[in-house]
A and B are shown apart, each in its own frame.
Chain A
């Protein structure tokens, strides 16, 4: 058994040679170390995006309410806030867990285990991407959120939605006009040009149900309905506390930009992750990594990337859906 002094001397000797090359002071291979630093830079990219989301959100008087925007669930005609996105979060967590299992099997040089667990991870990634595709489709097609238009917002004052009779009674003129072969009915103040920004509509939801006569308080979320046959956003007319007739305004434009850009950038990471996972799974199955006898280090490296994608989602989930 070596004495303590001898151990210390030996350690100092090692330290002297530590930085002279040939050894890894971080006890990690070049590839793994660079994966860590790549992920660090990527974390800064995502942090930049998420921080700009925060800054823009703080700078706006109104902002769409997340649990009102994200309350649709595929196959069910229900309105349940956050349920679908929680499911998506679980899919990513589970795929992260199967990835850890794949790395562990790799360290035991168990080829079959690596392939099976990686396959499970890939399926998780694909499920997540499909969910995201559905979410984007709903937002864009059904609800009309685009990069330049955001129909979701929040009332700044309390008021009551007006019906057609209310509007004609107040001296507004009813106009019927065809767009894309379907008739749109709206109201114009007398003597005002028929421009898009002057049209007042009766509040109607996507199911065609009228909400005229309903009252709301300040701070309540709303969605400007887009009619799918006329392709028109129907800005509802309401009467505020002062008795003025007001048109529902679009929400902050930045919301759509930030949502599509940040979740899109994350989704692109998931997509490229799925591609790399597939390549590495096929290579594992072919026995290339087994022959290297380094405990399937490639699997460990792609594992780092995959966990990072899950890590980013934790924060995307936080800022877009929870807060």
Chain B
């Protein structure tokens, strides 16, 4: 617990927390508006810049999360065992994020492929006859 801090120091920490969280939020919003082309005309983050932007946003948010958990929820002043018993399980989420985002992109590729195939126009073979599968009643192309 933050019991070893004086009351004045505690109040200072609170004010510091407000400043840090508020400041990061403002930065986040300004960066987001710039990235999407609302602040500087003609400037919009695309391609690799967009990925850097997304990573930066995630980093800002993780820092805010760290600050809230360690100083507002006082996890930094808890016993080491308690700290790790809460933090270690969340590491599982790292894999969940990698796996599911990868899976999501794979769905996206499939969807794109289906749309492309659906738009393709079917041409009859040169000899004029289509192979016909009697069991599935489908043309084999």
Contacts and interface: CB of A to CB of B under 8 A. Distances in A.
A33 interface: yes
Interface string A91-122: 00110110111001001100000000000000
A26 B79 contact: yes
B78 A67 contact: no
Interface stretch (B15-23, B122-130, B132-140): B15-23
A314 B97 contact: no
Interface in A26-69: 26-28, 33, 36-37, 39-40, 43-44, 47-48, 51-52, 54-61, 65, 67
A54 B107 CA distance: 12
A314 B64 contact: yes
Contact of A100 (B7, B72, B85, B107): B72
B93 to A, nearest CB: 5
Contact of B7 (A86, A97, A108, A321): A108
A310 interface: yes
A89 B72 CA distance: 16
Interface string A305-321: 00110110011011001
A90 interface: yes
Interface residues of A, number: 53
A36 B69 CA distance: 11
A60 B86 CA distance: 34
A97 B14 contact: yes
Contacts of B108: 58-61
Interface in B40-83: 54, 57-58, 61, 64-65, 68-69, 72-73, 78-79, 81-82
Nearest to A107: B3
A28 B105 contact: no
B78 A104 contact: no
Contacts of B17: 97, 100
A307 B17 CA distance: 12
A147 interface: no
A104 B11 contact: yes
Contact of B14 (A25, A52, A100, A303): A100
A67 B107 contact: no
Contact of A67 (B1, B21, B25, B33): B33
A40 B86 contact: yes
Contacts of A213: none
A220 B141 CA distance: 38
A27 B136 CA distance: 70
Nearest to A56: B104
A56 B100 CA distance: 9
A200 B90 CA distance: 50
B58 to A, nearest CB: 7
A64 to B, nearest CB: 13
A81 B82 contact: no
Given A55-B103, A107-B3, A311-B65, A96 B86 contact: no
Contact of B101 (A58, A94, A96): A58
B79 A315 contact: no
Given A40-B89, A61-B111, A61-B112, A318 B68 contact: no
A100 B73 CA distance: 8
Nearest to B26: A86
A123 interface: no
**A-B residue pairs, 8 tightest by C-beta:** A55-B104, A58-B104, A59-B107, A26-B82, A59-B108, A55-B100, A318-B61, A59-B104
Given A26-B82, A28-B82, A40-B89, 18 more contacts: A25-B81, A26-B78, A26-B79, A36-B86, A40-B86, A40-B90, A54-B97, A54-B104, A59-B107, A61-B112, A65-B36, A104-B11, A108-B7, A314-B68, A321-B32, A322-B32, A323-B32, A323-B57
17 contacts: A28-B79, A33-B82, A54-B101, A55-B103, A60-B111, A61-B112, A61-B115, A67-B36, A81-B36, A93-B22, A97-B14, A107-B1, A304-B73, A311-B68, A315-B65, A318-B58, A318-B61
